[in-house]
A and B are shown apart, each in its own frame.
Chain A
Amino acid sequence: KAGVTQTPRYLIKTRGQQVTLSCSPISGHRSVSWYQQTPGQGLQFLFEYFSETQRNKGNFPGRFSGRQFSNSRSEMNVSTLELGDSALYLCASSLGGIPSGNTIYFGEGSWLTVV
């Protein structure tokens, strides 16, 4: 059974540009969450999608957005990139939504560097 797949793994963007990251959850999983990880702040919750609906959103500006498709694949978009957006972006999937007590599996992450 394939794990959570994130693409691209590494990318470099310049300030002001936008970026789209993709996440394919484990087959059968309907919940997809996104996290930003930085050395200073650690892992911070961005948003969670369940059956194409955003169920919760973290404390990030509106430049961060996401969506989920009918096949549960998810994308997140960051517009007008800032240097501080440089981070490892992690996607996680679970069978049910949060909270459910289901095991949550993470992908390898997408490394975004903004220059």
Chain B
Amino acid sequence: SQELEQSPQSLIVQEGKNLTINCTSSKTLYGLYWYKQKYGEGLIFLMMLQKGGEEKSHEKITAKLDEKKQQSSLHITASQPSHAGIYLCGAERMNRDDKIIFGKGTRLHILP
């Protein structure tokens, strides 16, 4: 089974609306990364969270890591067409086995 589950898999939102993407792990995580990807291109780093309860914001995007460090949410306020793309969460596991695992991504479409 996938260690990092992202929900929803796909999201269609009217421009200007808020939205939330979730990333859930069955195991405690050491670090949680959020990336954005345009189809067929590389991953653009958004944010990294390490501490339980941590919250970071950049422009209209806010990411939180829960206290138990097993779930993270990415919230976009007043969505714009430029927010469209695939959002991926990645994580280092607490056993620190030297690799990052990724969820399968959430595909976000913004309707004008």
In Å, the complex CA distance between A88 and B42 comes to 9
Residue ranges of A at the interface with B (Cβ–Cβ < 8 Å): 4, 6, 33, 35, 42-43, 45, 48, 55-56, 58, 88, 90, 92, 97-99, 101, 103-109, 111
Neighbour of B99 across the interface among A33, A90, A105, CB < 8 A: A33
Asked whether any CB of chain A lies closer than 8 Å to the CB of B83, the reply is no
Q: Are B92 and A106 in contact (CB under 8 A)?
A: no
Neighbour of B103 across the interface among A42, A101, A108, CB < 8 A: A42
Contact with A along B36-74 (1 / 0, CB 8 A): 000011111100101000000000000000000000000
In Å, the complex CA distance between A105 and B31 comes to 15
Neighbour of B45 across the interface among A6, A97, A104, CB < 8 A: A104
Instruction: List, in ascending order, chain B residues with CB within 8 A of A48's CB.
Output: 98-99
* Chain A: CB-nearest residue to B103: A42
Q: Are A111 and B48 in contact (CB under 8 A)?
A: no
Given contacts A42-B2, A92-B100, A103-B48, could you give 9 more A-B pairs where the C-beta distance is less than 8 Å? Answer: A42-B102, A42-B103, A45-B101, A56-B98, A98-B98, A98-B99, A101-B50, A106-B45, A108-B42
Asked whether any CB of chain A lies closer than 8 Å to the CB of B104, the reply is yes
Asked whether any CB of chain A lies closer than 8 Å to the CB of B33, the reply is yes
In Å, the complex CA distance between A36 and B35 comes to 16
In Å, the complex CA distance between A32 and B97 comes to 15
Asked whether any CB of chain A lies closer than 8 Å to the CB of B88, the reply is yes
In Å, the complex CA distance between A97 and B48 comes to 16
A-B CB proximity, top 8 nearest: A56-B98, A43-B102, A106-B43, A42-B104, A108-B42, A99-B96, A106-B42, A99-B92
